[in-house]
Amino acid sequence: NGFINLALPFFGFSEPIPPVKTKCNDSEFTEWDSFDYDHDITLQELIDDFEKTHKLELTMVSSGVSMLYASFYSKKKLESRLPMKVSELVKSVTGKDVPAHTKWVMLDVCCEDAEGEDVEVPAIHVNVRN
C-alpha cells in the first residue's frame, strides 16, 4: 500500500497488519471471517448448530435493522419463529420478500458463552437461493 501527500513532499508505503484474532472455546476467528450456511436453515437449526459447534448460546439475531430473534421474546412468538427458515423469517418480520437478486442474507448475532459472558462473533451468511 502506498500513498502520496501532494501538500508535502511525502511518499508513504505501509504493510497492512493482520486482524485481531478472537478465541472462544475451541474456535478462533477474526473480524474478516464469517459463518456460512449453504442452505436456507431454520432459526432452530441455527441456534442448535451454534450450541453444538461453537458451544455458544445465541441471545439475539438480527438482519439489518430488524430483530429476528431474542431470547427474551414471549414463548408464543418463539414458537412461531423457531421453525421458520431464514428467508421466511425475514419476510415475516420485515413484511418484504428477500429481493430476487439477493443470494445471501447476512445475520448479526449476539452470543453468550457457558459463563454468561458476551462473545463477539463474525457475521453469519445464509444462502437463501440454493
Q: Are the beta carbons of 19 and 28 closer than 8 angstroms?
A: no
* Long-range contacts formed by 51-58: CB under 8 A, 24+ apart: 54/24, 54/25, 54/27, 54/111, 54/121, 55/25, 55/26, 55/113, 55/114, 56/24, 56/25, 56/111, 56/112, 56/113, 56/119, 56/121, 57/111, 57/112, 57/113, 58/109, 58/110, 58/111
Distance CA 89, CA 93 (A): 6
pLDDT value at position 22?
84
pLDDT value at position 14?
85
The per-residue pLDDT for range 77-118, each reduced to its tens digit, is: 999 999 999 999 999 999 999 999 999 999 999 999 889 889
Report residue 61 as a C-alpha cell. 439475531
The per-residue pLDDT for range 24-67, each reduced to its tens digit, is: 888 888 888 999 999 999 999 999 999 999 899 999 999 999 99
Report residue 14 as a C-alpha cell. 505501509
